[in-house]
Structure 1
Amino acid sequence: MIRNLLSAGALIGAIAACQANAVPAAANTPEMQGRAAPGAIVQRDHVRFTVLSPRVIRMEWSPDGRFVDSPSQVFVDREQPVPAFTSTVRGGVLHIETEALRLTYKLGSGRFSATNLSVRSRNLDTAFGWHPGMAEASNLHGTTRTLDRFRGNIRLGDGEKLDLGRGLISRAGWHLVDDSKSFLFDDSDWRWVKKRACSDCQDLYFFGYGHQYEKALGDFAAIAGREPMPPRYAFGYWWSRYWNYSDAEMRKLVGDFQRYRIPLDVLVVDMDWHRTDDLSWDPKYAKQDAFGQLVGWTGYTWNRSLFPEPERFLSWLHEQDLKTTLNLHPASGITRREARYDEAAKAMGVTGGKPIAFEAADKRFVNTWFDKVLDPLRDDGVNFWWLDWQQWPDSKKVPGLSNTWWLNYVFYTHMQRDSRNRALIYHRWGGLGNHRYQVGFSGDSVISWESLAYQPYFTATASNVLYGYWSHDIGGHMFPDDLPEDERHIDPELYVRWMQFGAFSPILRTHSSKEAGLRKEPWRFSPEVFAAIRQTIDRRYAMAPYIYTAAREAYDSGVSMLRPLYYAWPDEDRAYKTPGEYMFGDDMLVAPVTQPMKDGSATVSIWLPPGRWYDSNRGEVIAGGQMIERDYTLDEVPVFVRAGAVVPMNPDSVRKLQTMDNGELVLRVFPGGAGHARVYADAGDSEGYRGDQYSFTAVESRRDADDADVTVHPREGRYPGMPAEKQITVELPVSAIPERVTVDGAAYQRSEDGHAGSWSYDGGSLTARIVVPARPADQSMHVRVDYGRDPVDLDGLLYRMKRTAAAVEWLKYHWNSPSPLPDDVSLAGQAARLIDYRPERLPTLVREFDARLDRISEQVAASHADHSVKVKFAAMIDAIAE
């Protein structure tokens, strides 16, 4: 969703500007323009200052007056539009002033220090003064390499607390990135790492933004590279399990997903796709790495006892519209057991059957590795790679170069250079600048409520370094070491809650360690748990257009899809003290349940920021700026939508995200006022989105108790395979019964089946649904709904109906009286069905339901039921009334 959009014309203008300024597609590595525009540079002898934005100044000191223009690991695109600034020298002091910053440096005074360099704020909401060496006490942190063996943020064994390092965002309003020691990129066809020539030089980037956090992130994205979009299929469901699956077992697994109608887009095959008994053939290579892990985990040749004909297996997966990734542990290099060893050894000049040593910073090795070993597997049907580097931290060829960081760069940019599909990897975080190479694999977290409770904060905080695509082992990876054997089983409630968080996070991927009891297939759970899991996955697929639009906005703006509340409410102290809440896109606030239920529900305390919010569970609009407390049953998620928001959704028929672009779209328009949105689309799996191959559709709406208006503007932009028509369904949750519905002035009639060209009403969700026949996407559309003069208050009705139905069902199972249930009790439990049958009687039916709700406790109290049953039922009904 786009914020503060005043008109369709403003949106279309913004789209045009965005397209005009989009980063162009490139055959090699895009977004690497190290040299800044000359007009941005102020150079005096041994110092050089580059004004990169009103809020960002690069500050260099060099003893010989030579400076760095090559891209660095962190900052790859310094050629930015030159902002307005002034540069003057007064009394031997250089003064640089931008709209936001005032820098002073005493010329000829040498290295930057607290005595010769300072930066102060100008015109910012948060005043600050900075000089070199100043501590940044209020930094809001970034992220870290892995959650391996952490229970929450505490590591098993030594009790060490997880360190999230420093991010770009600080409550003090400034942050300094010292880039002096980072490596540089050369100017070869495939840019490669090189050392800095000067070890004593200073290369500092000062970010001064006050509380304009989102602008700071946007500045960083501009000069450090954008947060790339994963392919559309990556936002679907990933099935992953560390298990020695066979071809037959994989086919059965996929068949079960289809049989139970559970959507699936990505199948992860862990390391047993290749042989893992490599040590048996030559004991002299049996070594352990620094982690005590046998290096024999490396392998590139299919285990044909499990996958007799891997090419046919991969081809079959693609016939099922599934993408596939394989796990790599590359530390052992290429041994003579590998099927393609001879070709690789010849290319590397290795003789005598010796292993080809691994070295990611050796360009010859890497080119051989891809050309002779990995790319042939991609040609067979592997779509992308899961890197699982757990060995020595730094390169042996280039000391100090993080293997994790460099492997991310190498794999991602190789896929870009290949250009067949949009680049995608998943691997651990390697450090600042690694946001350019998604997706993150957070490692082997401990199965516990503490781990689940920590992950929302962990994921949101990573957006402070633009690392917006963490993929967690949903459900947790491993049990605590000290957990007794008879307790090593999945807690179904914990798993459901973890899945719900996964559905409202960047990547939804389940995984677990190789343990027989860790079976997370949805159909292995009880009917209640199975239903909650399937509903969660279905909800994820329904939200895909909203999620994909948020991914595009992250690319354009630097503001990640999942982020802390303090981005939007930086002056609200509560925004910094709600680690369990986050914004998911622009319009959804999520506070996942991270604690067990008591008596059938979990109570969650939630801070709602200022504004008005739609409680999606209760079906009511409430005022923000307050703490609230809500209860949630197993199938409920605390999600609050901005009042009046327009959320683009998929129809229920979408089961694959890689094939979803057929022009069908659901626009869910929430109550509470005016809303604006833009809906993003592209080809789904190409790098063309970096150029001009994409489209936006602007939507404006207004909804109150009297009427609703929705205007869909003509689609802007184009991309390969773009559908010529659009078929739009407008949904109005918690809606009164329309008195009149028109589309472009033509009246629509109510129908039972909700066919195209009509409107219908769903009593279970209190939703009016208008289905507009397909029409050319370059045409506008206007939907108007008039409610007439008999308004009915529907706030909270969804909650009351659902909880009453559950209470009545409970009562039936505990009813031991010879007399039947009172009529009012039975009818109160069927309120949604009564509305579904007779929606035209909605006001009357609501009044009748509320009247029944007021008296059914007394009726049960007067029955012959057991006293304990009466007390329990009365408590359930009283809780609904509260």
Structure 2
Amino acid sequence: MKTKSLLLSFLAITFFIVHVNSQNVQQIPNGIKSTTQSMDIQISFCSPRTVRVYKTPEGSSFLKESLSVIKTPENTDVSMKQQGDIVTLKSSALQVNYNAKTGKVSFSDLAGKNLFTEKDYGTQFIPFDDAGNKTFSVRQAFLLDKDEAIYGLGQQQVERLNQRNHKHFMRQRALFASVPIIQSTKGYGVFWDNYSPTTYTDNPQEMSFDSEVGECMDYYFMYGENADGVIAEIRDLIGQSPMYPLWTFGFWQSRERYKSQREIMEVVDKYRQLGIPLDGIIQDWQYWGPNTNWNSMNFDNPEFPEPQKMIEHIKGKNAKIMISIWASFGPNTKQYKELEKIKALFNFTTWPASSVDSWPPDMTKPSGVKPYDAYNEKARDIYWKHLNRGLFSKGIDAWWTDSTEPDHLDVKESDFDIPTALGTYRSVVNAFPLMTNKGIYEHQRATTSDKRVYLLTRCAFAGQQRYAANTWSGDVVATWNVFKKQIPTGLNFSLSGIPYWNTDIGGFFNGEYTGEATNKAYHELYTRWFQYGTFLPMQRSHGSGVKKEIYNLGKKGDWVYDTEEKYIHLRYALLPYLYSTGWQVTSNAGSFLRALFMDFNEDKNVHDISTQYMFGKAFLVIPVTEPMYVFSNNNKWAEPYENFNKTGTQKVYLPQGTTWFDFWTGETFNGGQTITKDVPIDIIPLYVRAGSIIPFGPKVQYSTEKKWDNLEVRIYPGANGEFVLYEDENDNYNYEKGIYSTIKFNWNDSDRTLTISDREGKYPGMLNNRKFNVVIVDTKNGIGDTFHANTGKSVSYNGKAKTFKF
């Protein structure tokens, strides 16, 4: 074994270090190709701002078809100039330098300022035997500036937003959604297009991507100049995000699990009786019965004797139902038998390992459950056929695509030798969530355009935004430290180009909490987590052990109940803002979760802030991530006490370059300073940027209960501002045909005038005449618990432009 290892090392060294004389450079459309250092290298512009760098061993005939990239390269004017060994390619936005001797590629702006560079002799192809396929492990090293910050890499459960001096082993698994995309405070992004397990490393010597399997080295450099520009390039390259239905932005209640149709119907009934807004209820696993019948996509559990009646009952209460489906099947299911016939099942241990519901699992009684080959088009057809027959045809509204890593227990290296329709499992493992969510999305789209697809999924890969997938952070534990990590984790995920992300409010596992719903220590954590969840793309309460329905945690008058009710109502008041932000995500490559550098990059203080973020363009959100009223000792929770005469405080950094309004009081503060905010249990520090225009919707029990015919429009003066109110039919794909309307609001701060522009577009059921109650925010009209002011100027609007002076 030692001799073999030395031989492989020698081959690797000679392969990428020995200089060769061949330095031929040939111009091709949009770029060049060259051979040097025993490599064929192709550099091509996909657009003026995006460049693909593609390297293969010399003489390779391998042509890659990307699973993530869907963009067809544009015809781009590219000039070429060679001086000595250096070839310079230039577009209208970017220039690339190629060293024909070393093979190094570097990028700079048009003024010649360095943006990003490979390391000299930094490409490595190391021979690798991938289950009999003689291929390579692939590594590329880069050099970063000492002071630039790096973000992204999907969901890595990190404490720090900035990923400098980090090392991540990127292979899909529970809690980790590996997306090999980074972006820099210098205004560029990089997509490492490889689906095998990959290690990202950054240290003082270099930054690198190192993938276990690769016939080629393939990455895309994207220059956006700023973070929004980078995300626009990412979406242009690997897909845009569709519009989600309006009802997805309301409140969702879930539990592990509702054990009968009676239970789930009672929950919806109770919310309606209490007058607590609710848009969605989620049925978790085992509605199919025993584990050997895993994911049958039928209500085979006798506790669900009349599923159609259950679904109709929930819809009769004006709620939607989402249901858990998996990427694996029990041996007693029809799907398993059909997939087995086409050899589209993976033979490794997955959840549930045992056929008996017990903990720990009884491995003497294996379940026989196996994941399916999501890379196989025929397997995806089988998957949808049964999903359509068993659930979609009954009226299920949305899909909880659980275990889309998929779950992989008792991991053995030989498991990755398993063949898939696209190569070994090792070579494509990280793309599994992309492919399984793709199958559901594309099949439902082909079935009907009357209902928008909505997926809640546990894992993700580059490009998944195009499949209407909202990723959640997995089965996290209920601790303050884990809660705090969710903030930078979600921001890095969003910075990877995928805009929809959320978390189990209150954590999935109870951790060290006992006493279930009566534990006051847990109530404080849950309340703070709920406040944070109000400012995520999906507000969803879920967990195991604690029954988190609002009435199980307390009653009217209890702070845990009253605070949750308050923030659910706030969520519904913000529906016009949320839906319009969703349109910006779809139409302009926007983002809900915005790391502070996205809007305030010139303020270097924000580059390493991991516990604050912008929610859309208006709100600065600072979740309270430390307990105030209950305390722990040696990681064990002491008897809780409450002292509500004492109010905790939170440090808040207000970024430079704008004035900030305290959302609750209307008080203003200059940016560029740290302030201290009082945070009683019902308050999350929340600030609004001067120049923001925010519409507030009516008080409702569900998202479409009332028309938006009398919205309150709150203007935060101190800077010019703009907002586009977006409206459509709420739940179909007619918007893709231009069937929607937008109304633009412009605030001119110097002369204090608001202009409401001509309405653009139309759709069936559109309001032709409406009123807006315009409020200029100050300390006299800070937000109340009804989230509507008693003052304001009521203006009528019939779709024609109007200007009002204040």
- Given the two structures, how large is their TM-score scaled by the length of structure 1? 0.68
Code of the aligned partner of 1:140:
I
Listed as ranges, the gaps of 5+ residues in structure 2 are: 1-27, 123-139, 159-165, 198-212, 346-367, 409-414, 630-644
The answer to whether 1:134 aligns with 2:134 is: no
The number of equivalent residue pairs is 666
Question: 8 Å contact 1:701–1:708 — kept in the other structure?
Answer: yes
Q: CA 1:127–1:344 in structure 2 vs 1: closer, same or farther (change >3 Å)?
A: closer
Code of the aligned partner of 1:694:
Y
Code of the aligned partner of 2:428:
L
The answer to whether 1:587 aligns with 2:618 is: yes
CA distance in 2, matches of 1:687, 1:237: 23
The answer to whether 1:252 aligns with 2:259 is: no
The answer to whether 1:618 aligns with 2:689 is: no
- 2:794 aligns to what? 771
- Per-residue deviation at 1:98? 2.8
* 1:568-583 alignment runs, 5 A limit: 568-583=599-614
Q: 1:635 aligns with which of 682, 686, 694?
A: 682
Q: 1:401 aligns with which of 408, 420, 428?
A: 428
Code of the aligned partner of 2:688:
V
The answer to whether 1:410 aligns with 2:439 is: yes
Normalized per residue, which structure has more helix?
1
Question: 8 Å contact 1:141–1:166 — kept in the other structure?
Answer: no
Q: 2:50 aligns with which of 44, 53, 56?
A: 56
The answer to whether 1:319 aligns with 2:298 is: no
Question: 8 Å contact 1:735–1:768 — kept in the other structure?
Answer: no
CA distance in 2, matches of 1:182, 1:347: 24
CA distance in 2, matches of 1:97, 1:469: 35
Question: 8 Å contact 1:179–1:204 — kept in the other structure?
Answer: yes
- Per-residue deviation at 1:659? 5.3
Q: 2:758 aligns with which of 714, 721, 731?
A: 714
Code of the aligned partner of 1:781:
K
The answer to whether 1:524 aligns with 2:524 is: no
Q: 1:98 aligns with which of 57, 66, 91?
A: 91
- Per-residue deviation at 1:534? 0.8
Question: 8 Å contact 2:551–2:561 — kept in the other structure?
Answer: no
- 1:646 aligns to what? 693
Q: CA 1:467–1:124 in structure 2 vs 1: closer, same or farther (change >3 Å)?
A: farther
Q: Deviations over 1:9-31 (max 9, x none)?
A: xxxxxxxxxxxxxxxxxxxxxxx
CA RMSD of superposed structures (Å)? 3.8
- 2:206 aligns to what? none
- 1:869 aligns to what? none
- Per-residue deviation at 1:605? 0.8
- 1:239 aligns to what? 253
- 2:584 aligns to what? 553
- 2:480 aligns to what? 449
Code of the aligned partner of 2:711:
L
Say which SS state the counterpart of residue 493 (structure 2) adopts: helix
CA distance in 2, matches of 1:244, 1:162: 26
CA distance in 1, matches of 2:196, 2:339: 32
CA distance in 2, matches of 1:587, 1:782: 22
- 1:688 aligns to what? 734
Question: 8 Å contact 1:444–1:478 — kept in the other structure?
Answer: yes
Say which SS state the counterpart of residue 134 (structure 1) adopts: strand
CA distance in 1, matches of 2:387, 2:622: 45
CA distance in 1, matches of 2:620, 2:371: 49
Q: 2:407 aligns with which of 362, 374, 391?
A: 391
Question: 8 Å contact 2:344–2:379 — kept in the other structure?
Answer: no
Question: 8 Å contact 2:54–2:216 — kept in the other structure?
Answer: yes
* 1:242-281 alignment runs, 5 A limit: 242-275=256-289, 277-279=290-292
Question: 8 Å contact 1:56–1:219 — kept in the other structure?
Answer: yes
- Per-residue deviation at 1:382? 0.7
Question: 8 Å contact 1:247–1:306 — kept in the other structure?
Answer: yes
- Per-residue deviation at 1:604? 0.9
Say which SS state the counterpart of residue 423 (structure 1) adopts: coil
- 1:206 aligns to what? 221
Q: CA 1:75–1:176 in structure 2 vs 1: closer, same or farther (change >3 Å)?
A: same
Say which SS state the counterpart of residue 583 (structure 2) adopts: helix
CA distance in 1, matches of 2:789, 2:549: 37
Question: 8 Å contact 2:156–2:177 — kept in the other structure?
Answer: no
- Per-residue deviation at 1:125? 7.1
- 1:600 aligns to what? 646
CA distance in 2, matches of 1:342, 1:69: 33
Question: 8 Å contact 1:168–1:175 — kept in the other structure?
Answer: yes
CA distance in 1, matches of 2:340, 2:190: 46
Q: 1:727 aligns with which of 738, 753, 771?
A: 771
Question: 8 Å contact 1:459–1:468 — kept in the other structure?
Answer: no
Q: CA 1:59–1:631 in structure 2 vs 1: closer, same or farther (change >3 Å)?
A: same
Q: CA 1:767–1:671 in structure 2 vs 1: closer, same or farther (change >3 Å)?
A: farther
Q: Deviations over 1:479-516 (max 9, x none)?
A: 22x65679994622221211111111111000011x26
The answer to whether 1:534 aligns with 2:565 is: yes
* 1:122-271 alignment runs, 5 A limit: 122-123=110-111, 128-131=116-119, 132=122, 133-135=140-142, 140-144=150-154, 167-171=181-185, 174-179=188-193, 200-208=215-223, 212-271=226-285
CA distance in 2, matches of 1:639, 1:84: 47
Q: CA 1:574–1:90 in structure 2 vs 1: closer, same or farther (change >3 Å)?
A: closer
Normalized per residue, which structure has more strand?
2
- 1:380 aligns to what? 394
- Per-residue deviation at 1:670? 2.0
CA distance in 2, matches of 1:577, 1:668: 31
Code of the aligned partner of 2:761:
G
Q: CA 1:564–1:487 in structure 2 vs 1: closer, same or farther (change >3 Å)?
A: same
Q: CA 1:147–1:306 in structure 2 vs 1: closer, same or farther (change >3 Å)?
A: farther
Q: CA 1:228–1:168 in structure 2 vs 1: closer, same or farther (change >3 Å)?
A: farther
- Per-residue deviation at 1:590? 0.9
Say which SS state the counterpart of residue 586 (structure 2) adopts: helix
- Per-residue deviation at 1:557? 3.5
Question: 8 Å contact 1:234–1:507 — kept in the other structure?
Answer: yes
Q: CA 1:145–1:594 in structure 2 vs 1: closer, same or farther (change >3 Å)?
A: closer
Q: 1:302 aligns with which of 299, 310, 313?
A: 299
Q: 1:371 aligns with which of 376, 385, 407?
A: 385
CA distance in 2, matches of 1:592, 1:178: 33
- Per-residue deviation at 1:568? 1.5
Q: Deviations over 1:817-876 (max 9, x none)?
A: xxxxxxxxxxxxxxxxxxxxxxxxxxxxxxxxxxxxxxxxxxxxxxxxxxxxxxxxxxxx
- Per-residue deviation at 1:165? 7.1
In terms of mean alpha carbon deviation, does 386-395 or 715-724 score higher?
Answer: 386-395
- 2:71 aligns to what? 77
Code of the aligned partner of 2:288:
H
Code of the aligned partner of 1:779:
K
CA distance in 1, matches of 2:607, 2:33: 40
Question: 8 Å contact 2:253–2:540 — kept in the other structure?
Answer: yes
- 1:792 aligns to what? none
In terms of mean alpha carbon deviation, does 559-568 or 116-125 score higher?
Answer: 116-125
CA distance in 1, matches of 2:340, 2:176: 42
Code of the aligned partner of 2:30:
A
Question: 8 Å contact 2:698–2:706 — kept in the other structure?
Answer: no
Code of the aligned partner of 2:775:
E
Listed as ranges, the gaps of 5+ residues in structure 1 are: 1-37, 184-197, 280-295, 738-760, 786-882
Q: CA 1:168–1:307 in structure 2 vs 1: closer, same or farther (change >3 Å)?
A: same
Question: 8 Å contact 1:335–1:355 — kept in the other structure?
Answer: no
Question: 8 Å contact 1:145–1:428 — kept in the other structure?
Answer: no
Code of the aligned partner of 1:670:
Y
CA distance in 1, matches of 2:344, 2:507: 44
Q: CA 1:165–1:571 in structure 2 vs 1: closer, same or farther (change >3 Å)?
A: farther
- 1:782 aligns to what? 803
Say which SS state the counterpart of residue 216 (structure 1) adopts: helix
- 2:108 aligns to what? 120
- Per-residue deviation at 1:323? 1.4
